[in-house]
């Protein structure tokens, strides 16, 4: 008879051997509710919360706008791929503790052979792992709590929240924006859709789409990257009569150009690169294009009612009889629904919660003038971040609290060379942010902490312990 087995035995042992969490060393300040507020309760926000706890930084709160755990993060919502795009062995939220890794979690439930047999991780398995990670480590985001405004005060922030108890305010000394792709600026939906169509006729891949309602309908998907192919695949799997995917390039991007700098030296030291190199690397990425995975394409092309249109730019759209009509490359089409797989805009400085800082955040266009051949207006709108992922001031002294807002979302792409907040960024960037937060809090409270370091400590023993041996 098989004995009952606790799949978390190794994880419990790892935490026991790691020792108890350090006590909170940050001195309390009158009128301050939180030392650190993390906006975003997905994988990144929860990993940051754990890392801060292990650094002895207490009074940390995690805000999550989604109404519940199922709706938090992307994995059961906007993400529609069958398999994660990242390698299965890539370090993630375990933060150097092997027993907390996906591999350890998966093997504890399915066995080593099962893990060896998978090429990439199922999206739903990753979602289950992240849910376990939160519960096992006791990380409890405050669901249904949206951060609507970050108001600067003298030496801290007032947070305006819309939550279960209505509109409230709280105070914090530090903020980390772990708000995912949407929090990095906003959804980009082409003007040809927003200007000419009713909102009921189109959606962005970030949106919650009722694919069951598309059964028997003719659907257009705009975009040639992974999210577009995934949306097309889901629509086909839900019985769409036909799906037409329109890509503006004459071929689908197939070269994952960032792989050329996927070695530890470039990964670990990317921030130290000159601005010209970082800009050039971003330009290479956008010129080669964001690549869908092979399985994302295979998911669609196996359907005979999937139609791929290359070099097909949407320049016009008309709403007629509850449908969308367009003419592309001389051919007319009529669609019941349009899905924009067109990515996100980098306008983080214009996010509503950052309205008080919009004119003070240093952007790349303020700091770096690229050569003519590499000019790109969109890249210029990315924030120019400091080494600790903190905002920098456009005019020194105009908004000194900006350095206490740290960015761990894709808005950091140009500064750090990765889609910040995705799994590949965790190993490098979470320790960097936590280290900077720790240093800033320590420096700001140095007067109190110096007294603590110079304080009296009772002796462990008296002279009686060794008196008998004195000659």
Q: What percent of the chain has pLDDT over 70?
A: 99
User: Nearest 5°: phi and psi at 168?
Assistant: -135, 170
Q: Are 186 and 378 in contact (CB under 8 A)?
A: no
**41, pLDDT greater than 80:** yes
Across the strands, what pairs with 147?
161
Q: Where are the beta strands (DSSP E) in 155-305?
A: 157-163, 166-177, 186-187, 202-204, 218-222, 242-246
Model pLDDT for residues 53-98, shown as the tens digit of each residue: 999 999 999 999 999 888 887 888 888 999 998 889 999 999 999 9
**pLDDT beyond 70 at 3:** no
Length of the chain, in residues: 471
Categorize the per-residue pLDDT at 265 as very low, low, confident or very high, splitting at 50, 70 and 90.
very high
pLDDT digits (tens, 9 = 90+) for 45-58: 999 999 999 999 99
CB atoms < 10 A from the CB of 410, how many? Answer: 25
Tell me the per-residue pLDDT of 418-430, one tens digit each, with 9 for 90 and over: 888 889 999 999 9
Torsion sign, CA atoms 405, 411, 415, 421: positive
- CATH classification for the domain delimited by 189-253+290-342, as one of 3.40.50.300, 3.50.50.60, 3.40.462.10, 3.40.50.1820: 3.50.50.60
**Contact between 37 and 48 (Cβ < 8 Å):** no
Torsion, Cα 166 345 283 426, to 10 degrees, reads: 20
Query: Angle 102-110/123-137 helices, nearest 10 degrees?
Result: 100
pLDDT at 168 (0 to 100): 97
Considering only 71-80, 145-154, 207-216, 256-265, which range has the smallest mean pLDDT?
71-80
Supply the angle between the helices 446-453 and 423-444 in degrees, to the nearest 10.
80
Q: Parallel, antiparallel, or unpaired: how do β-strands 318-320 and 323-328 relate? A: antiparallel
- From-to residues of CATH 3.50.50.60 in the chain: 9-184+345-450, 189-253+290-342
**What local confidence, expressed as pLDDT, does residue 2 receive?**
46
pLDDT of residue 348: 72
Mean per-residue pLDDT for 331-345?
A: 95
Burial bucket for residue 114 (CB in 10 Å: 0-12, 13-18, 19+): exposed
Q: What is the pLDDT of residues 348-395, one digit of tens each?
A: 767 889 999 989 999 999 999 999 999 999 999 999 999 999 999 999
Residue with tokens 């705009």: 222
Q: Does domain 9-184+345-450 have CATH number 3.10.290.10?
A: no
| CA atoms of 229 and 243, how far apart (whole Å) | 10
- Range 215-230 average pLDDT: 97
Banded model confidence at residue 1, pLDDT cuts 50, 70, 90: very low
Phi, psi for residue 370 in degrees, rounded to 5: -75, 165
| Segment 182-208 mean pLDDT | 91
User: What are the φ/ψ torsions at residue 287 (nearest 5 degrees)?
Assistant: -75, -35
Alpha-carbon dihedral of residues 90, 93, 96, 97, nearest 10 degrees? -110
For residue 335, pLDDT beyond 90: yes
Tens digit of each residue's pLDDT (9 = 90 or more) over 125-146:
999 999 999 999 999 999 999 9
4: confidence class by pLDDT, cuts 50, 70, 90: low
């Amino acid at each position: 008879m098989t004995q009952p087995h606790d799949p978390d035995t190794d994880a419990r042992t790892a935490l026991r051997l790691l020792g108890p969490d350090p006590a909170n060393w940050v001195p309390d300040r009158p009128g301050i509710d939180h030392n650190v507020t993390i906006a975003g309760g997905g994988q990144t926000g929860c990993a940051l919360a754990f890392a801060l706890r292990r650094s002895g930084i207490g009074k940390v709160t995690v805000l999550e706008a989604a109404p519940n755990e199922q709706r938090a993060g992307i994995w059961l919502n906007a993400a529609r791929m069958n398999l994660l795009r990242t390698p299965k062995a890539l370090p993630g939220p375990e933060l150097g503790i092997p027993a907390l890794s996906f591999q350890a979690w998966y093997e504890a439930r399915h066995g080593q052979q099962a893990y060896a047999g998978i090429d990439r991780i199922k999206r739903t398995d990753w979602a289950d792992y992240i849910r376990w990670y939160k519960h096992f480590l006791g990380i409890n985001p405050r669901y249904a709590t949206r951060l609507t405004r970050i108001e600067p005060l003298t030496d801290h922030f007032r947070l305006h929240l819309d939550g279960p108890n209505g509109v409230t305010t709280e105070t914090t000394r530090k903020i980390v924006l772990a708000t995912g792709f949407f929090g990095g600026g906003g959804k980009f939906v082409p003007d040809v859709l927003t200007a000419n169509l009713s909102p009921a006729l189109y959606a962005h891949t970030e949106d919650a789409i009722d694919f069951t309602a598309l059964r028997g309908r003719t659907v257009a998907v705009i975009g040639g990257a992974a999210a577009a192919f995934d949306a097309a695949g889901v629509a086909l799997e839900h019985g769409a009569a036909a799906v037409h995917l329109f890509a503006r390039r004459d071929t689908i991007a197939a070269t994952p150009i960032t792989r050329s700098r996927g070695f530890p030296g470039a990964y670990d030291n990317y921030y130290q690169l000159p601005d010209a190199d970082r800009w050039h690397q971003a330009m290479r990425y956008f010129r080669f294009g964001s690549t869908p995975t092979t399985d994302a394409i295979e998911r669609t092309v196996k359907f005979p009612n999937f139609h791929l249109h290359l070099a097909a730019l949407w320049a016009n759209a008309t709403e007629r009889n509850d449908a969308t009509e367009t003419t592309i490359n001389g051919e007319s089409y009529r669609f019941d629904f349009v899905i924009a797989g067109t990515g996100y805009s980098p306008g983080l400085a214009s996010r509503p919660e950052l309205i008080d800082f919009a004119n003070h955040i240093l952007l790349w266009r303020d700091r770096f003038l690229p050569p003519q051949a590499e000019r790109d207006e969109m890249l210029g709108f990315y924030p120019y971040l400091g080494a600790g992922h903190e905002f920098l001031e456009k005019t020194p002294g105009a908004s000194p609290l900006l350095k206490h807002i740290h960015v761990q979302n894709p808005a950091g792409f140009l500064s750090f060379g990765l889609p910040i907040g995705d799994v590949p960024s965790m190993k490098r960037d979470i320790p960097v942010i936590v280290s900077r937060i720790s240093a800033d809090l320590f420096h700001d409270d140095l007067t109190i902490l110096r007294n603590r370091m110079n304080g009296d400590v009772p002796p462990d023993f008296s002279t009686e312990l060794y008196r008998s041996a004195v000659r």
